[in-house]
Structure 1
Amino acid sequence: MSTTVEKIKNIEEEMARTQKNKATSFHLGQLKAKLAKLKRELLTPTSSGGGGGGAGFDVARTGVASVGFIGFPSVGKSTLLSKLTGTHSEAAAYEFTTLTTVPGVIMYRGAKIQMLDLPGIIEGAKDGKGRGRQVIAVARTCNLIFVVLDVNKPLEHKKIIERELEGFGIRINKEPPNILFKKKERGGINITNTVPLTHLDNDEIRAVMGEYRINSADIHFRCDATVDELIDILEAQNRRYISVIYCLNKIDSISIEELDLLYRIPNAVPISSEHGWNLDELLEEMWKKLNLVRVYTKPKGQQPDYEQPIILRNGRSTVQHFCNQIHKSLVEEFKTACVYGQSVKHQPQYVGLAHELMDEDVVTILKR
């Protein structure tokens, strides 16, 4: 009996042999949907199927956000963790020095951020090679991923790691596709779109729906989606959209001309973890990607507390979120909030619970 990995390989080979045209679109849609369902089995294997969390991969979470370090063995992840957090993570000039997740913490701009040095992965990690599933399973829970690459080795490593992460349901530096999907009891498949669909036709859409045994649904496309993006919507519970920064390590071993080329790579920061070069820029990019909001408290009649800001997530940064971070009883006793900063037109301005706060706003809560 074929294993899940073998079934995946067979489908991928069949897809490679099949030329895409109008006559084959239905069949290709079915194959892609089958492939996604099989990969889901690898994401959530049964206890008998192996690939579980494993010893040493359960890490107590702390801080307002977590950053996972992913990369091939011996690219400098452990040295980078040590430089940024002061945490000792075993580092040596041979492969697979780190065999478990090593956590560290950095205080940056008043925010406590956890960093996780994960064991090196190898090609085929998503299929269970090495301890790949365990490594990527931890990465799926992070708010940001540092993909650490050795600039002395081909940047094909970047493509391999991207393929491994994508195969595990992680969508890198992407937003969820703008597709509205709603299952119905009856009425068949109703397909509408506000932009032309150049990558999908109705046969492919119906093939995918059929493979998922969805007979009635409303599907509205607000983007020029691919069949993979449609499947991502159907597999939404198994998809994670995570920002990635490519840490191009060991720049101390290349020329200035080569360094200039590295800066053209999107979402990349050239660094030297051994010498501590350019780590300030890396942390600045980390802060932008995490999209955190610092809000300073100002008790009535006192100076603002600039030492310990309340950290909120962008998109969850209303005055109500701010109150809940301090104490839930504040919402019940809330009368108004006096706000100074970028989020208001007048300095100060009185606002309600629904007001969206911005980075470095100063807030006084007035109770009833």
Structure 2
Amino acid sequence: MTTVEKIREIESEMARTQKNKATSFHLGILKAKLAKLKRELLTPKGSSGGGEGVGFDVAKTGVARVGFIGFPSVGKSTLMSKLTGTYSEVGEYEFTTLTTVPGMVQIKGAKVQLLDLPGIIEGAKDGKGRGRQVIAVARTCSLIFLVLDVLKPLTDKHVIEKELEGFGIRLNRQPPNIYFKKKEKGGINMTSTVPLTHLDLDQVKAVLSEYKIHNADVSLKCDATVDDLIDVIEGNRVYMPAIYVLNKIDQISIQELDLVYKIPHAVPISAHHEWNFDELLDMMWEYLDLVRVYTKPKGQLPDYNEPVVLKRDHCSVEDFCNTIHKAILKQFSYGLVWGSSVKHNPQKVGRDHILKDEDVVQIVKKV
């Protein structure tokens, strides 16, 4: 029996099994088996884990990477061309884009790489089409644009989300707050800091036993599900923000547009007419969560043309120095900062000081 057939057999058994307290133990074991089989499917034996394939992965450039994912003929290539000026073959038929097409857009002084990925099809997670290669590249992105046809957004959204889930990509979600550590002996020790409504010790033991783990500490700091626990054990999940780009709004009424705006994380646009691109780019900047920091040489005005762009969770003065050149820290004495991260301007700070968007920094070297 092939891996895909084994997956279908387990999914069929799960669909037949009524969900209640009596069956939760059995369903937990089935979900763990399913996760292991899907991992086999995505990283076959002999593979290093990626399998991007010729023409799919491209060299990273810019401060962040945004991947365009969607079904064929939803307008990804048109959107890419209009945003970047990069030519990506456009056609009124399916599968026009057969490889990854890179482009670059400059926003708020930061260069962001855009990747137009080949259209995925339903069943991609099971090896159909080029789904495995497409989503291997998507996993390297900082943000996903899910490009959807505004005439059927919810249907396509559900299908693509299911495909991405199958590849271990979790959209607009934070990693579950679960501490998990294997140990040499002592059995399974489970603690929780919140009331649990989905998991108990027996279920945790059942899932861990499926992974041949019989000694571990598990601390649940959220009302976790079996799926959350499996994600933590697997350890290869990618949690990333996503924007649902609802294209072709020139084909719907104003009343329908009002309904579309109620979809969370969504931006309605018309790639063909370049409608609402400003809102799309503003949302892209917000979801990328970037911070611009300007340099100020001693005795000169700040350079506002070329900001140093950092991720918000890595924006200390030390990160700022390392982004410019790793040798700077060897000569670092202190920094002078102007901006919203300090109480007075300028303020003398150390390497651990956390910078905020549009701060100005002058590095003072050791004498």
Please report the TM-score for the alignment, with normalisation by the length of structure 2: 0.97
Give the paired residue count. Answer: 366
Measured against aligned partners, the alpha-carbon deviations of 1:79-113 in whole angstroms (never above 9, x if no partner) come to 00001000000001111111111000111111111
Q: Distance in 2 between matches of 1:51 and 1:326?
A: 30
Q: Deviations over 1:303-357 (max 9, x none)?
A: 0000000011111110001111112121111111000111111121111000111
Residue 135 of structure 1 corresponds to: 134
Question: Match of 1:355?
Answer: 353
CA 1:49 to 1:300, structure 2 compared with 1: closer, same or farther past 3 Å?
A: closer
- CA distance, structure 2, for counterparts of residue 297 and residue 48 of structure 1: 44
Q: Does 1:262 align with 2:260?
A: yes
Segments of 5+ residues of structure 2 without an aligned counterpart are: none
Question: Residues 280-359 of structure 1 correspond to what in structure 2 (within 5 A)?
Answer: 280-359=278-357
Report the Cα offset of residue 48 of structure 1.
8.3
Matched, 1:248 2:246: yes
Aligned residue for 1:172? 171
What is residue 275 of structure 2 aligned with on the other side? 277
Give the match for residue 78 of structure 2. 79
Whichever residue aligns with residue 195 of structure 2, its letter is: P
Structure 1 ranges of 4+ moved more than 4 A: 47-51
Alpha-carbon contact 2:171-2:239 (below 8 Å) kept: yes
Does the 8 Å CA contact 2:243/2:265 hold for their aligned counterparts?
A: yes
| Range that drifts further, 127-136 or 169-178 | 127-136
Tell me, yes or no, if the aligned pair for 1:8 and 1:35 is still in contact at 8 Å: yes
Give 1:172 shift.
0.5
Partner of 2:195: 196
* 1:180-222, Cα deviation, whole Å (9 max, x unpaired): 1111111110011010110112221110010011111111111
Look up the equivalent residue of 2:17 and give its one-letter code. Answer: T
Separation in 2, partners of 1:283, 1:246: 13
Q: Is contact 1:25-1:203 (8 Å) kept?
A: no
Deviation at 1:149, TM superposition (A): 0.4
Looking at structure 2, the residues matched to 171 and 50 of structure 1 have their Cα atoms a distance apart, in angstroms, of 18
Please report how far the alpha carbon of residue 22 of structure 1 lies from its aligned counterpart in structure 2 after TM superposition. Answer: 3.2
1: CA distance between counterparts of 2:362 and 2:51?
Answer: 47
1:49 positional shift: 12
Q: RMSD over aligned Cα, in angstroms? A: 1.4
Are the equivalent residues in 2 in contact too, given 1:61–1:114 (CA < 8 A)? yes
Q: 2:226 aligns to what?
A: 227
Q: Distance in 2 between matches of 1:305 and 1:49?
A: 43
For the Cα contact (< 8 Å) 1:51–1:128, is it kept in 2? no
Q: Name the aligned partner's letter for residue 117 of structure 1.
A: D
Counterpart CA distance in 1 for 2:154 and 2:319 is 42
Q: Which moved more, 1:49-58 or 1:38-47?
A: 49-58
On the 8 A contact 1:123/1:161 being kept in 2, the answer is: yes
- 1:229 Cα offset (Å): 0.2
Structure 1 residue aligned with 2:63: 64
- Mapped contact 2:43–2:49 kept (Cα < 8 A): no
Counting aligned pairs with the same residue, the percent is 70
| Equivalent position SS for 1:60 | coil
Shift of 1:17: 1.4
SS of structure 2 residue aligned to 1:331: helix
- Amino acid corresponding to residue 274 of structure 1 in structure 2: H
The 1-side partners of 2:290 and 2:326 are apart by 21
The more displaced of 99-108 and 44-53 is 44-53
Judge conservation of contact 1:28–1:204 (CA < 8 Å) in 2.
no
Partner amino acid for 2:7?
A: I
CA distance 1:301–1:89, shift in 2 (3 Å): same
Name the CA distance, whole Å, in 1 between partners of 2:115 and 2:50: 20
- TM-score, with normalisation over the residues of structure 1? 0.97
